[in-house]
Amino acid sequence: MGQQVINGLFLGSIYALFALGYTLVFGVLDILNLAHAAVFMVATFVAVALVGHGLDILLALPLAVLFAGLLGLVLERVAFRPLRARTDSNIAGLISSLAAATIIEAVALEIWGPNITRFPFGTMPEGPASQFQLLGGTVSRLQLTIIAVAVLLFLVLTWLVKGTRLGREVRAVAESPRSARVLGVNVDRAIAAAFFISSALGGAAGVLYGLAFNSISPDMGHGVELKGLAVIVLGGMGSMPGAVLAGFALGLTEVFVVANLGGSWRDVISFAGLFLFLVLRPRGLMGAAATREA
């Protein structure tokens, strides 16, 4: 039981990080950025490459996250900004993000190949020495580190969004781009910032995921892509606290379902949940808008 709670929190923290970025862009642009999972994947490879060059993971992680954020800026410029004026921009944006995801995946496939890549041995301390007992379960240092990094990032993000001017501008744009512009907000800059933050979070989730499961391949984003979708729907599209809550809820539920029903039912829960929520409670756990135009 305690073990399962720990495993659930651990999985949930990765889902939550991934979904936070996803939902941030949705909140600001009403666009589903399907390239988010590609950023997640590529950041992981970058971290592996940096560690392979002898960097400590504590240095490689922030560098990979920075890389992911910059990639997000590029995506915004190439695949989203040109479409913003279009009336069908949410469908067009979904498709161009799909195109971007495909291109990123192609590049990763060409550079790193289709096979599974791993972090070099010893990237994180392993073995019995690095484990200890908590809540009646065994926790590894790795798991704790991941949860700690996730919580740290939540705090940084909350400060960024609530406590800084840029964050307030991003929120204003999410509320209404038109009135934000009237209020003198630099909308382009706010949207770019949202993409940077979003992609950085996606990259962080990727690196942590890679460390946790140590099975890294160009298609590793596919599974988490749809999971992330489920999380942001459950949390309420565009709601950041909702994404965190739903991320942990999904992580915990999955762990319990696997333990009690068997592994093959794990994914059924998230998609059936996603589907039922959209039909019965489209605003999710914490979202405001119901069947709004998006």
User: Which range of residues in 134-142, 201-209, 252-260, 273-281 is near another protein by CB under 8 A?
Assistant: 273-281
Tell me if 99 contacts another protein by CB under 8 A: yes
Tell me if 1 contacts another protein by CB under 8 A: no
Q: Closest Cα partner for 241 from 171, 180, 172, 144? A: 171
Q: Shortest distance, CB of residue 266 to another protein, whole angstroms?
A: 9
Tell me if 260 contacts another protein by CB under 8 A: no
**Residues 127 to 166 in contact with another protein, rule: CB under 8 A:** none
Tell me if 272 contacts another protein by CB under 8 A: yes
Q: Which of 42, 50, 79, 252 touches another protein by CB under 8 A?
A: 79
User: Which range of residues in 17-25, 124-132, 157-165, 223-231 is near another protein by CB under 8 A?
Assistant: 223-231
Residues that bind another protein (CB under 8 A): 30-32, 78-79, 82-83, 86, 90-92, 94-96, 98-103, 105-107, 109-110, 114, 222, 225-226, 229-230, 233, 237, 264-265, 267-268, 271-272, 274-275, 278-279, 282, 291-294
